[in-house]
Amino acid sequence: MVLPNGRIERLQSQLSSNLPVDAFELGPLTAPPIYEYEGGLVYRRGYQLEIQLINQADNKILFRLSFFQGLLKKPTGWRQGDPDQKFRNEIPAGSEYFVEGDSERLEYNPIYGVEPPIALRISDEVLTDQNKLKILCKLNEGTLVEKLSAQLHIINCDQKIYSQNLELYKGQDWESYEVNPENWPVGDYSVELYPILSKTVWEEGPSVTYRHRKINQAGVPISPLSPWKLIRDTNRQALSITDFRQALQTWGDTEVDDSDWQFQTTTDGVSLISANTERANPLALTLRLQGYYAVLPEC
């Protein structure tokens, strides 16, 4: 069996007259699909399963069946395929795709597709503060089990630095687990979720990478997703405006029209809200600052 990430697991048994039939435990099949970009197309790769019957006398293959996990209209599970073809589904942008050699357009339904039964992600707060690390997980829609035991691990250089036993229930919203990485060394950390079936822990569940970086106090991020930062000029003090009523009284050049703008008290100060979203007259603040400044609004 080939997992979506390319890892190969081989299970074999020797059949004889005394053992004409045998069975293999394939595991929970919970590894998420892998996406690849090639030649302007996006490919999605799921599980591959190949069954072979080999004559040990001459190593000749007497029988072979190959299956791959794909996208179908109905939940038929596995689909037999050519063992020599690429086990990939071509997924153009959107929720539809074309099957090679087939003129029929199929709609992708995640319940019947290759989405894993377990969802794992990191909360959005980590984009603005890397120390606000929350691990989120749940059972996806269409999962067959009503309840699943699992182990949550965070691994760095093959060393588990965090472990948590948990229970996931079908239909339940995201389970959240807060972790404080503030004192962790700089590096990449693998967050992995291992399902437990019949008291066996299967290390083939979903995973996500958390990157802990050295904080540059002089850096000013333009966006949480920006790959670069502005460098702060430490010789000049930053100006932060949280009370817009006071700011307009101090630096304002125009009168505030109540039909266009309204003040609202917040936990951080006084915000300014447009009451006329279509044709609100602009307001001007003359701050009388010298040099170049980056203006970073927070909404």
Give the position of tokens 């990191």.
122
Per-chain mean pLDDT for the chain: 80
| Contact residues for 254 (Cβ-Cβ < 8 A; gap 6+) | 281, 283, 284
Note the pLDDT of residue 64. 87
Say how far apart CA 248 and CA 269 lie, in whole Å: 13
Topology of the domain comprising 118-212: Immunoglobulin-like (2.60.40)
What global pTM score does this model have? 0.63
pLDDT score for 87: 47
CA 47 to CA 41: how far, in whole Å? 20
Which amino acid would we find at residue 245? R
78-89 tens-digit pLDDT: 555 544 444 455
Predicted confidence at residue 193, as pLDDT, reads: 94
User: Which pLDDT tens digit goes with each residue over 227-278?
Assistant: 788 888 878 888 889 999 999 999 988 788 888 888 899 888 998 888 766 6
Q: Report the C-alpha dihedral over residues 197, 199, 202, 205, rounded to 10 degrees.
A: 50
Q: Is the pLDDT of residue 112 over 70?
A: no
Do the Cβ atoms of 9 and 50 come closer than 8 Å?
no
Ranges 49-58, 274-283, 287-296, most confident: 49-58
CA distance 207 to 222: 28
pLDDT at site 100: 52
- Burial class from Cβ neighbours inside 10 Å (0-12, 13-18, 19+) for residue 94 reads exposed
Q: Where does residue 282 fall: left (phi above 0), alpha (psi -120 to 50 degrees), or beta otherwise?
A: beta
Residues 6+ apart with CB under 8 A from 241: 247, 285
Token pair for 172: 């339940």
Q: For the beta carbon of residue 192, count every other beta carbon within 10 angstroms.
A: 19
Domain locations along the chain: 1-115, 118-212, 216-299
CA 79/CA 83 separation, integer angstroms: 12
More confident residue, 219 or 156: 156
